[in-house]
Amino acid sequence: MISHVKFVSIPVQNYDRALKFYTEKLGFKLLTDHKFSDDSRWIELEIGNSQTKVVLFTPPGQENRIGTIMNLTLTCDDVNITYQELLKRGVEFNVTPTKAPWGTYAQFIDSEGNQFVLSSN
């Protein structure tokens, strides 16, 4: 039976810029960087101790997905503390930490314009 999500793909325009953002600003660890062609790569990243990985990859013909709202929420222990740390690292937020009935969240934008929710209980 299914045990977990192996990876989530994030579409990117500029692989070098995105790799720098995810490793230097978010602290993800590079696992794989495989070049398919001059303008296409498969970059697999590890998020802390999570089994789920992130892959920076844009399938041909799906470039219109770049810079959209991602159906992906990243979790941290404390949104307020993580928000402050990511601000110091230059991460842009379009929603500051906000309390909701289900927890506290913020929303940030990656180097490619993709938007993500950051959440804690």
105: nearest Cα among 114, 113, 115: 115
Segments making up each domain of the chain, as ranges? 7-120
- Of 35-39, 79-83, 87-91, 115-119, the least confident: 35-39
What's the pLDDT tens digit per position in 89-111? Answer: 999 999 999 999 989 999 999 99
Q: Is the pLDDT of residue 121 over 80?
A: no
Mean pLDDT value across residues 22-51: 95
Q: Where are the beta strands (DSSP E) in the chain?
A: 7-10, 29-37, 40-46, 53-56, 69-75, 92-100, 103-109, 115-120
Q: Which CATH architecture has domain 7-120?
A: Roll (3.10)
C-alpha torsion 26→31→36→39, nearest 10: 20
> What does each C-alpha distance from 109 to 18, 27, 39, 96, 117 come to in angstroms?
11, 15, 22, 12, 9
Query: Is residue 38's pLDDT more than 90?
Result: no
Q: What is the pLDDT of residues 60-81, one digit of tens each?
A: 999 999 999 999 999 999 999 9
